[in-house]
Structure 1
Amino acid sequence: MPETEEMLADVCALTGMGFAAVARVTADRWVACQLLDRIEFGLKPGDELKIKTTICDEIRASGQCVFIDEVSADPSWRTHHTPAMYGFESYISIPIILEGGRFFGTLCAIDPVPRTGLKTVVPQMEAMAFAIARALDEITPDASR
């Protein structure tokens, strides 16, 4: 979806982060659908991560967004295995919810450098996740499969 490429650039500009992605997240898979990688994270569209190594798995389970300005300074996240494994200091991820409340995946961003004020960009990112969900609903009514 060409409009998603522009949204990923907007996510990077909005958050100051160098990696943004739309990921398909299920109980047993994390698949990069579309991404923008300015930090040489090393993923390409279609690449997979082990689901239990991702925070997106927790977002799938809770349905709630997660934002972390500075992992190493956050008592809830500084000992979490995911930031240590992937080497990021800042993180934001918004669930992509399809029509009927079906969870598709996440709109997420990471960076090796701490960022501030991520909470303030949540509404804009939620609007982008909503737009992605509506586009997916139009492309295929069964996008959740």
Structure 2
Amino acid sequence: MGEDAFRVERLRADPAVAAMLERICDITTMGFAAVARVTDTQWIACQVVDRIEFGLEAGEELALKTTICDEIRGSGRAVIIDTVSGNPDWRTHPTPMLSGFESYISFPIRLPDGTFFGTLCAIDPQPRSIGTPAIAALFERFAAEMGALLA
């Protein structure tokens, strides 16, 4: 097993990661949360919590260009959208239209050396008030903890 596959498996099997995803869904009231490995060619779910029957399980892949996570990989910055349909920057973006979500939040996960690994994200088909400092701090902390697990 290569180092990358080992890291994906590490996140998939860790109960602390599962607990963080459950906590994210509880606090944000969003129905889907995931940790994804994102490269320049691939998006793979390491672990998910799916309360809305989004239909994606750990180990499954999405086409990279259908994700906002690819843009986060490129920019290195978090994306937080309370209401896609009310946001002029995102309402015509193909990803929310394709996936049917109205709220989205995603933070980059970095390895201890600063290298981008993937994203910690959550979606919901309903608008959610997620653009708060407390929620951003929670995602930032959990993303940092996940990155530290991969050392």
With normalisation by structure 2, the TM-score equals 0.89
Deviations 1:65-106 (A, max 9, x none): 000000000000000000000000000000001111110100
> How far 1:35 sits from its partner (Å)?
0.4
Displaced runs of 4+ in structure 1, greater than 4 A? none
Match of 1:123 in 2: 137
| Cα distance between partner residues in 1 of 2:49 and 2:150 | 19
Residue of 55, 59, 79 corresponding to 2:68: 55
Q: CA RMSD in A?
A: 0.7
Q: 2:83 aligns with which of 70, 76, 83?
A: 70
2:114 counterpart of 1:101: yes
TM-score norm. by structure 1 comes to 0.92
Paired residue secondary structure (1:101): coil
Q: Which amino acid in the other structure matches residue 71 of structure 1?
A: V
> Which amino acid letter does the alignment assign opposite residue 125 of structure 1?
F
Indicate the residue corresponding to 1:140 in structure 2. Answer: none
CA distance in 2, matches of 1:85, 1:119: 26
Q: Secondary structure at the match of 2:150?
A: helix
Q: Secondary structure at the match of 1:64?
A: coil
Query: What secondary structure sits across from 1:77 in the alignment?
Result: coil
**Counterpart Cα distance in 2 of 1:10 and 1:118:** 17
Q: How many residues in Structure 1 have an aligned counterpart in Structure 2? A: 137
Q: 1:142 is matched with which residue?
A: none
Identity of aligned residues (%): 57
- Structure 2's unaligned 5+ residue stretches are 1-13
SS in 2 for 1:126: helix
